[in-house]
Amino acid sequence: MLLPVVIGFGLIGLIVLVGGIILSRRESGSLIEERLGPTGGFGESEEQAPQAPKSPIGDALNRALADRGIGANLATQLARADLKITVGEFMAATVILVIAAGGIAYFVKRDILVTLGACAAAFFAPRIYLARLRGNRLKAFNEQLGDAINLMVNGIRAGYSILQAMESVSQEMAPPISEEFGRIVREMQFGIPMDEAMDHMLRRAPSDDLDMLITAINVQREVGGNLAEVLESISFTIRERVRIKGEIQAKTAMTRGSGYMIAAVPIIVSVIVYLINPAFMGPMFVDLCGQIMLGVALLGIIVGFVVINKVVQIDV
């Protein structure tokens, strides 16, 4: 009876903690976004909502986590996924989710293995969701980049400067590329050099195509040349690469689906059998021979999944 009480009080305490941090924190952002304040920037509304005062506890927790290795990497991933939460909030939400999932599993099944499995699933679920958001955003960015460069080429040929061409991309195109180019424009307005502002965008959107664009702009600024023609060639290369990648994805869809099925079916069947008849599967987790068999099976699933993914991943 003691364990459910401890879990319950721990869950309530963590909910109160993370709720207080979320409600009291000010909208997180860079120094540039804070300096923009109510004045806004290119393509932004001039009406800004009033900002709440900072939470000392929330700021201290976020700094303590974000300044360390895992926290710093997580902060980068959150920025790439464009999630407007801090590292501390993400980790607190993960802890709450783990405790809630473990508590529910324990109360429903009263089985330590089911509880541990639920906790593990709850721990990795937010990170899987974050990785999916980051991947979808980067994919959308790469798909828009060719059209954005083409728009910049048209602007430069019409007499725009490179900054005005970037501003037109931020105003005319849809997110996420409009957001990223809008940030470059705002950073340059506040005195950050163009090469540094573009490096910031490359860290938020790590793309080989974007790196090629930034290199072309930097070379043109140093040695001169016809930037419009260079960018037009890059735009054509990027659009063709996107088209070829789409064809490859369509032709390898069945193989990728087979890989997911091969990896998921044994695990799903094992979980279902264990939930239906724990006595039948229980010895597999207790007996040494059963543990070895489970380990070999899990290793085979992982190796098969990795091999199939390597086969269908074709560099363009």
- pLDDT value at position 114? 77
- Calculate ∠ Cα 179-124-140, nearest 5°: 25
pLDDT at res. 28: 42
d(CA 29, CA 32): 8
> What is the model's pLDDT at position 25?
47
Contact 167/185 with Cβ under 8 angstroms? yes
pLDDT at 37: 41
Cis check: omega of the bond before 176, within 30 degrees of 0: yes
Residue 150 neighbours by CB distance under 10 Å: 18
Three-class DSSP category at 301: helix
Of 26 and 132, the structure prediction assigns the larger pLDDT to 132
What is the DSSP annotation of 180-209? HHHHHHHHHHTT--HHHHHHHHHHHS--HH
Does the CA dihedral 35-163-77-246 come out positive or negative? positive
Say which residues have a Cβ less than 8 Å from residue 68's Cβ, sequence separation at least 6: none
CB atoms within 10 A of CB 227: 19
Q: Is residue 150's pLDDT more than 50?
A: yes
Better pLDDT: 22 or 189: 189
Is the model's pLDDT at 115 over the cut of 50? yes
CATH code assigned to 138-250 = 1.20.81
Place of tokens 């501390």: 88
pLDDT value for 52: 42
Q: Helical H runs in 25-55?
A: 31-36
Instruction: Please name the residues in contact with 232: beta carbons below 8 A apart, sequence gap of 6 or more.
Output: 149, 150, 153
Among 4-13, 128-137, 247-256, which is the least confidently predicted range? 4-13
Rg of the Cα atoms in the chain: 25
Handedness of CA 73, 76, 81, 86 (dihedral sign): positive
pLDDT of 15 reads 57
Tell me what pLDDT residue 90 has. 83
Cα 159 to Cα 143: distance, rounded to the nearest angstrom: 26
55 near 27, Cβ under 8 Å?
no
Mean pLDDT over 168-197 rounds to 88
Residue spans of the domains in the chain: they are: 2-37+52-135, 138-250, 252-312
pLDDT at residue 1 tops 80: no
SS3 168: helix
Residue 155: pLDDT band (50, 70, 90) is confident
> Percentage of residues in the chain with pLDDT exceeding 90?
0
Q: How does residue 63 score in pLDDT terms, banded at 50, 70 and 90?
A: low
pLDDT (0 to 100) of residue 36? 42
Would you say how long the chain is, in residues? 316
The predicted-structure confidence for 202-232, as pLDDT tens digits, reads as follows 888 888 888 888 888 888 888 877 888 888 8
